[in-house]
């Protein structure tokens, strides 16, 4: 899998699908690499060319000790320019969606469409931020077994816990088995300390699909509704029996939503 030096930071990416098809750049959420969303991405790769960068501090991508979402956005913009990618679909999950909104504000010319999944334009409430930051610090310091069960309940809906114990077990093992979490923590701080762009996103002109899991405590349906209400023409889809990792819980449903959205005619 190729690694490119971007603004003195090495970023790894891989590709799926036919390069002659429209390109989707998929930016994953904190903690999880694109591989964790394999069922969703394999489905999309049947019709689209996918570029899957490892987020800063995740997989083989490097990171800076002090990062901002704006700096990460600049890196991904330069990565796309270096790869010769224009008019892409940016599909961002959680922090990936935060970067996507900033990309559309700063560099709208590189985007055809935005898919924003399980994300927020505003700052986290102080209570949520304090609780999750505490878990992140324990995760960074190696106490992964101690926080695994609490973390899983932030990511998955009750029905997923009941009906898909093998998925919970798999993701829990991935979390606990993380070898070095310092880079992930640096990326998490960029998200925790992010600027509030809620008053700016009305300037986004990129056609947009907003997706949220109905049980997501971190990026709530109300936050998704706010984003959709601010971006002219944006579509909003709330997915039942799903939480923050809605793309893993409901991969085929999400793939269909994305395909249907992208096949719509672009308004004149």
Q: Which domains does the chain possess? A: 3-263 (3.40.50.1820)
pLDDT at 239 over 60: yes
Burial profile 15-44: b = 16 or more Cβ within 10 angstroms, e = fewer: ebbeeeeebbbbbbbbbbbbebbeebbebb
pLDDT number for residue 254 = 98
Question: CB–CB of 231/97 below 8 Å?
Answer: no
List pLDDT tens digits, range 57-115: 999 999 999 999 999 999 999 999 999 999 999 999 999 999 999 999 999 999 999 99
Half-sphere exposure of 119 (CA within 13 A, CB side): 34
């Amino acid at each position: 899998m190729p690694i490119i030096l971007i603004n003195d930071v090495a970023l790894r990416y891989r590709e799926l699908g036919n390069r002659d098809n429209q390109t989707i750049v998929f930016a994953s959420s904190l903690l999880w690499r694109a591989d964790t969303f394999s069922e969703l991405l394999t489905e999309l790769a049947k019709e689209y060319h996918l570029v899957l960068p490892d987020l800063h501090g995740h997989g083989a991508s490097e990171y800076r000790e002090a990062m901002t979402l704006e700096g990460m956005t600049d890196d991904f913009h330069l990565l796309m320019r270096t790869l010769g990618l224009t008019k892409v679909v940016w599909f961002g999950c959680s922090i990936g969606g935060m970067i996507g909104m900033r990309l559309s504000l700063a560099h709208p010319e590189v985007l055809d469409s935005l898919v924003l999944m399980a994300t927020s334009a505003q700052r986290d409430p102080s209570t949520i931020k304090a609780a999750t930051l505490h878990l992140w610090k324990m995760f960074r310091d190696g106490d992964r077994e101690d926080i695994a069960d609490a973390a899983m309940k932030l990511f998955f809906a009750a029905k997923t816990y009941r009906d898909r114990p093998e998925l919970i077990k798999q993701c829990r093992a991935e979390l606990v088995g993380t070898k070095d979490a310092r880079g992930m923590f640096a990326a998490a701080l960029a998200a925790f300390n992010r600027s509030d762009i809620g008053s700016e996103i009305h300037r986004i002109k990129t056609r947009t699909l907003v997706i949220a899991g109905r049980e997501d405590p971190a990026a709530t349906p109300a936050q998704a509704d706010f984003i959709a209400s601010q971006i002219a023409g944006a579509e909003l889809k709330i997915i039942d029996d799903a939480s923050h990792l809605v793309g893993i819980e409901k991969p085929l449903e999400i793939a269909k939503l994305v395909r249907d959205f992208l096949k719509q005619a672009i308004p004149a």
